[in-house]
Amino acid sequence: MFLIVASVGFVSFSDTSALENIGAEKISVSKDAKPNVSMVKFTQLGNMVASWYGPGFHGKLTANGEIYNQMALTAAHKEMPFGTFLRVTNLRNGKSVIIRINDRGPYIEGRELDLSKGTAIALGMVKKGVIKVKVEEIGLKEEPSPVSTL
């Protein structure tokens, strides 16, 4: 399965709510703008044990230096590079969400991912607390090199 990512103009991966954007400058895109299209691939990382965290850390700094927003679609992992995008799927109900690694953890033995509360809600796991998830890393699909005929 492939996901096509298309963008025109400015794209932001910051986790802000609509209320935080009140008064922000408006972005306009020319009707003649050409979209940038990139194919992505999903690399299977296997199944992991995931928990969630939120209320006690909301508004504090994450390990990558940004302010933690418990409702953002983010997660903590002990070693994955910050900015890594993952598709995480709840194995019990099939719900999946795309998240970004922005913190370190979890620090409880046997757990491999610590998901934000927003991610836990999207996966339907808030009450359960700890679940098994399928994890896939999202990366750009390598494009073949253009061939020049001179």
Cα–Cα dist 59/77, whole Å: 19
Vertex 122, ends 117 and 124: CA angle to 5°?
A: 90
pLDDT score for 25: 59
Average of per-residue pLDDT values in the chain: 84
Q: pLDDT tens digit string along 15-27?
A: 444 445 555 556 6
Cα–Cα dist 14/17, whole Å: 9
Domain spans of the chain, in order of start: 3-14+41-140
Q: pLDDT tens digit string along 72-82?
A: 999 999 999 99
Global pTM?
A: 0.73
Architecture of domain 3-14+41-140: Beta Barrel (2.40)
